Amino acid sequence: MKNNIYLAILLSLVLSACDPKQPADEEQTANEANESVEAVDHSAHQVNCDSEKGISPYCGFKNPEDIALTPDGRQLIISEMGEFMMDSPGSLSLFDLGSNQKQPISIDWQTRDDFWGDLTCGQPDPALFSPHGIDLTKRSDGRHWLLVVNHGGREAVEMFELKQTEGNWGLTWKGCAQPPEDPFINDVSGLPDGGLLVTHMWNKSLTIPQISEMLQKGETMGWVWEWHVDSGFTKLGGSQQMMPNGIAVSADGSKVFVNIYLGNKTIRIDRKSGTVEGEFEVRQPDNVVLDKGGNLWVASHQHDPINQNCNDVEHGPCLLPFVIVKADSSSMAAETVFSQEGLPMGYATVAFPAGERLFMGSAHGDRLISVPLESLSASESDVP
């Protein structure tokens, strides 16, 4: 039964992401497959950006899927993703925590010396740039690098140096690394030694019948790639799972936290031994953030992945329900601290604490939202 559920979820994700400009027979098949999908009513509130239930929205974004914080703690870096699995262009932007306003961020794409990536990985086409998961870390030389999963024209992790010029944050492209095979990658975390970890959800070249057969046999289809400039890509031990999604790593690089979307859990892997040494249950976990206090913040989807999606949302927010789970990274004890359904936003993919507020973004919609951290409280129910 569990494998059938996994397959249904995956089929739903694939069908919901299909290119609308498909041949007539494929279009008819997709339409028939989605006849039972429930439409979430967004029509009355497509441009409403008012506060609701103590939740503050910030509009003007396009699919703000992931979040990082600038080193001075004054701005959020926002990954504005293209439509899921359509590899359409997106962008990176800033959100000023003082003014609550979106701001542009400049990107210098010119190749120079001091290359940080794989020497065989060439410069991307900036017009195709399609960011997904992001992570900002400090390198051993003290410089800040922003890692960005890019679907635009290729599956790669793009590397940028983040630095200030005349008080303004900007990015300079410093290289990239492309995982082998035909991966669909999702989220990335930097390692303190200059390496990185990136989640591989499945091989894009797999057909639906092949995926079905794998799931029926209980085979996994995703893992975590570890990359270093000298050794290239290797699979992280313990990470072969049912669709790894979000990823975070401890400050010393020894522990890796991975959200397993189809496995309905978050796991902790010892990076040296490859041992899965802890986990907690959480429904459909998307991104995971590890704060300086050792807490994990997980955005958990609560909708029916077969019969509900965001396809009908052309303007405004998707309103699918979600919860935010907070867990202790040492004990892996978890609790639900925030639940949301309806306005001002649903379908959260990331929860990021900054200052005195928790900010949340979405892979489908026009806004971020935030709530005061002090307003969060543990739910009486178990983690879903």
Q: Which residue has the tokens 């790894």?
A: 244
Q: Are 329 and 294 in contact (CB under 8 A)?
A: yes
Q: Are 238 and 223 in contact (CB under 8 A)?
A: no
Query: Mean pLDDT, to the nearest integer, of 154-182?
Result: 95
Reported as a single tens digit per residue, the pLDDT across 258-310 is: 999 989 999 999 999 999 999 999 999 999 999 999 999 999 999 887 778 78
Q: What is the pLDDT of residue 46?
A: 53
For residue 42, pLDDT beyond 80: no
Reported as a single tens digit per residue, the pLDDT across 348-381 is: 999 999 999 999 999 999 999 999 999 997 654 4
Return the biggest CA–CA distance within the chain.
Answer: 59
DSSP state of 375: G
Tokens of 171: 């990015």
Cis peptide before 344 (omega within 30 of 0): yes
Chosen CATH of 2-375 out of 2.120.10.30, 3.40.630.10, 2.30.110.10, 3.20.20.80: 2.120.10.30
User: What is the helix (H) or strand (E) element at residue 3, kind and residue range?
Assistant: helix 2-16
CB count within 10 Å of CB 53 equals 9
pTM of the model: 0.88
Q: With b meaning 16 or more CB within 10 Å and e meaning fewer, what string describes 318-354?
A: bbbbbbbbbbebeebebbbbbebeebbbbbbbbbbbb
Measured torsion, CA atoms of residues 339, 300, 72, 137, in degrees rounded to the nearest 10: 170
Phi, psi of 322 (to 5 degrees): -155, 165
For residue 8, pLDDT beyond 60: no
Q: What is the pLDDT of residue 234?
A: 97
Query: Mean pLDDT, to the nearest integer, of 324-331?
Result: 98
